[in-house]
Amino acid sequence: MTETTVAKPTGATPAASPDAILQLGFGFWGSKTLLSAVELGVFTALAGTSAELEPLRARLGLHPRSARDFLDALVALGMLKRQDGRYANTPATEAFLDRAKPSYLGGILEMANARLFRFWADLTEGRCAPGCRKTRPRPAGRSSPSCMPTRPGCGSSPAP
């Protein structure tokens, strides 16, 4: 991971950049997009061929409103290519994510998606000592629950 800095005059200390923090913090977006594509069989459906959006969407059973965004996200992640409105596998996804090939390694990704993803999603809660923290309801306008101490002196979260 590289760190981006803002140009400063010679001799000045470079300004800190949040790029690496944000890239790591939002890394699950790309990971979950790939895991969902493997689960849905996107790469197997495109093995040895290319397809336009609508026939591919119908074949995979994707929702009409989100199909283009989903497939274009895979293009942006370098997992698919798109040329003249047709989606196709990259050389790597063709070789390793087609379920019909002996080189398929999507099984480990399917296992990670089905069995491990939830454990990682609950990592914060799992790091709390028993009885020290509990999840409180989401405050209005907040996208995730927050934790709070359940007894004095427990944990490092400030009381609400």
Query: Mind giving me the DSSP string for 74-111?
Result: HHHTTSEEEETTEEEE-HHHHHHS-TTSTT--HHHHHH
pLDDT band at 74 (very low <50, low <70, confident <90, very high): very high
Please tell me the predicted confidence (pLDDT) of residue 159.
Answer: 46
Q: Check whether residue 116 and residue 134 sit in a common domain.
A: no
Domain count, the chain: 2
Q: 114: burial class by Cβ within 10 Å (0-12, 13-18, 19+)?
A: exposed
Q: In this model, does residue 38 exceed pLDDT 70?
A: yes
Range of the domain at 36: 19-121
Q: Token pair 């698919």 is at which residue? A: 80
Is the pTM here over 0.85, yes or no? no
- We report the CATH number of the domain holding residue 45 as 1.10.10.10
